[in-house]
Structure 1
Amino acid sequence: MISYVERMLIYPAPSIDRGNWKTKWLDKEDVHFESSGGVRLHGWYAPVENPDCVVLYSHGQSEHVANLINVVARLQESLNASVLVYDYRGYGKSQGVPTEAGCVADGLAAQQWLAERAGVLPEELVIVGRSLGGAVSTAIAAERGARALVLENTFSRLTDVAAYRYPWLPVRQVMRNRYDSVERISQYTGPLFQMHGTRDRVVPAKFARELFSACPSAHKRFYTVRGGNHFDSTPPAFYAKLREFLAQDETPTSYGLLDPAPTLATPSVA
């Protein structure tokens, strides 16, 4: 019973009837690939000609790919990127039941599929994740590397968020889905670009700061959205700063020229 309630709280997959599955203005392909345990996953691949980068995007806990049309278009236009968005097991048109191990395996399977399709190495992909997808993306980058890890409104550990929201429950002792991103990001030394809003009441910014501090990368930036909350759309200025970040020379010499933790403020989007 406890594990069932935990799964419902962590993985509130939206109804497949939500979102726009039949959009015609986004040039995309329906794709399917296999994850661990033979679980069949579904995603959308939206390539551009002669991309400057290839992006794997992992979504939040209450989304599926049909909610991400604008996200895909923004990534394409802002970064000149080919983009894959996909659904974890139990989400959208993907099979299976979500678990931490399963969702991480799904992210790794998506990374491998996209690398093969785009003709690049897995570690050459830009790995982007929002909220729960940030934890999945951190696990991917920690295990296989990335051209850059990009995190939006994500957390240090899922147990930290649960303890903050349910302080009267022994969540740290009983939770099975823990998503210890602090431990995982300590294994990642590549570029990191992280965003968080100052009014986020779902994942307080202190958890994002803890995660950022735990990353040993010499090439990392923290982007603060003044007044931003957890469910706001990603501000356009974020994509402009991300494009600048990705365009920087990623040599050890240039690392030493960067402020390791500047705060880049934007106008309030609340």
Structure 2
Amino acid sequence: MFGWYVEAQADRPVILWCHGNAGNIINRLENLRELYRIGLSVFIFDYRGYGRSQGRPSEEGLYQDALGAHDYLTRTRMIRPERIIIFGRSLGAAVAGELAAQKPAAGLILESAFPSIEAVAKFHYGGVPVHWLLGADFKLVNRLPQLSLPKLIIHGGKDDIIPLELGRQVFEIAKPPKSFYVIEGADHNNTYQVGGASYFRRWAEFVQTAFSLRSQEP
């Protein structure tokens, strides 16, 4: 598995980034730069079959890759779980939710998320690269009601790939504490550009709150 660890300030939260189905980690350089500017370290990795990571992608394979990424942070980098914020966008949101159900973390950020592949299919497949996904479930709906860690759910108001209604469903099924941030005018792939400074401010506020809450636990 291939990935990048971008370290900002010591003892600050670390974002474990699960990317979406389109592209690979090199497509997220601008995001990483902005998160670095607000003092967040990031570990972003390519699933098997994406970018420079070898193998063939599968639903279970992606889940295993995310577990491996978490182990890398905690065992190799010696980062405490209470410093880790799991982030997933689009397909990666389902991977992030599964990871949060199996490994400890301070918080969970889901962007452009959907309850399940079946829910997306009920709307349309247009614009969604389905190839190997047709045999997968990615049922985030099964995991979110179990997760008690703080959650920030982000969605573009004009997302025509994963409609806003699906993002609202994700928020509704999520267990508190949770917050929902709709970026008006944003589509599936430009949330941070349209959101601008407000987008990264919401990130920073959520991360700090989640980090503080976890640090106060006995």
- TM-score with structure 1 setting the length: 0.71
| Structure number having the greater helix percentage | 2
- Whether 2:200 is the aligned partner of 1:242: answer no
How far does residue 71 in structure 1 lie from its aligned partner after superposition? Answer: 1.4
How far does residue 154 in structure 1 lie from its aligned partner after superposition? Answer: 1.2
Q: Kindly provide the amino acid, as one letter, of the partner of residue 183 in structure 2.
A: V
Higher Rg:
1
Q: In the alignment, which residue of structure 2 is the partner of 1:58?
A: 18
The answer to whether the 8 A contact 1:159-1:175 is kept is no
Structural RMSD (CA): 2.2
Matches within 5 A, 1:92-103: 92-103=51-62
Q: Kindly provide the amino acid, as one letter, of the partner of residue 160 in structure 1.
A: A
How far does residue 184 in structure 1 lie from its aligned partner after superposition? Answer: 1.1
Q: Kindly provide the amino acid, as one letter, of the partner of residue 178 in structure 2.
A: K
Matches within 5 A, 1:144-159: 144-159=103-118
CA distance in 1, matches of 2:81, 2:205: 22
CA distance in 1, matches of 2:42, 2:75: 13
Q: In the alignment, which residue of structure 1 is the partner of 2:175?
A: 216
CA distance in 2, matches of 1:97, 1:86: 15
CA distance in 2, matches of 1:158, 1:250: 33
- Return closer, same or farther for 1:123/1:187 CA change in 2, 3 Å cut-off: farther
Q: In the alignment, which residue of structure 1 is the partner of 2:84?
A: 125
Q: Per-residue displacement from partner, 1:120-150 (whole Å, max 9, x unpaired)?
A: 2345410011111111111111222321100
The answer to whether the 8 A contact 1:53-1:82 is kept is yes
- Return closer, same or farther for 1:166/1:151 CA change in 2, 3 Å cut-off: closer
The answer to whether the 8 A contact 2:25-2:46 is kept is yes
Count, aligned residues: 205
How far does residue 51 in structure 1 lie from its aligned partner after superposition? Answer: 4.2
How far does residue 175 in structure 1 lie from its aligned partner after superposition? Answer: 4.4
Contiguous gaps of at least 5 residues in structure 2: none
Q: Kindly provide the amino acid, as one letter, of the partner of residue 138 in structure 1.
A: G
Q: Kindly provide the amino acid, as one letter, of the partner of residue 123 in structure 2.
A: Y
CA distance in 2, matches of 1:116, 1:230: 34
Matches within 5 A, 1:62-77: 62-77=22-37
CA distance in 2, matches of 1:246, 1:99: 30
Matches within 5 A, 1:1-270: 41-78=1-38, 80-122=39-81, 124-166=83-125, 175-217=134-176, 219-234=177-192, 235-236=195-196, 237-248=198-209, 249-250=212-213
CA distance in 2, matches of 1:214, 1:124: 25
Q: Kindly provide the amino acid, as one letter, of the partner of residue 182 in structure 2.
A: T
- TM-score with structure 2 setting the length: 0.87
Q: Kindly provide the amino acid, as one letter, of the partner of residue 35 in structure 2.
A: L
CA distance in 1, matches of 2:3, 2:57: 16
Q: Per-residue displacement from partner, 1:185-229 (whole Å, max 9, x unpaired)?
A: 112110001110111111011111111111112x21100111111
Q: Which moved more, 1:238-247 or 1:203-212?
A: 238-247
- Specify the SS of the correspondent of 1:186: helix
CA distance in 2, matches of 1:49, 1:208: 32
